[in-house]
Amino acid sequence: MFMIQRTLTLPVFSNGIRLITHEIMETIPEIREIDCGMLNIFLQHTSASITINENADPDVQKDMGMALGKIIPDSLPYEHTLEGNDDMPAHIKSSIVGVSVNVPIGHGRLLLGTWQGIYLCEHRRSPHRRSIILTAFGKKVE
Say how far apart CA 100 and CA 50 lie, in whole Å.
6
**Along the 142 residues of the chain, how does pLDDT read in single tens digits?**
999 999 999 999 889 999 999 999 999 999 999 999 999 999 999 999 999 999 999 999 999 999 999 999 999 999 999 999 999 999 999 999 999 999 999 999 999 999 999 999 999 999 999 999 999 999 998 8
CATH number for the domain including 97?
Answer: 2.60.120.460
Can you give the residue range of the structural domain that contains 110?
2-139
This prediction has a pTM of 0.95
Q: Exposed/middle/buried for 21, CB within 10 Å: 0-12, 13-18, 19+? A: middle
Q: How many domains does the chain have?
A: 1
Length of the chain: 142
Please give the Cα distance from 17 to 67 (Å, whole number). Answer: 12
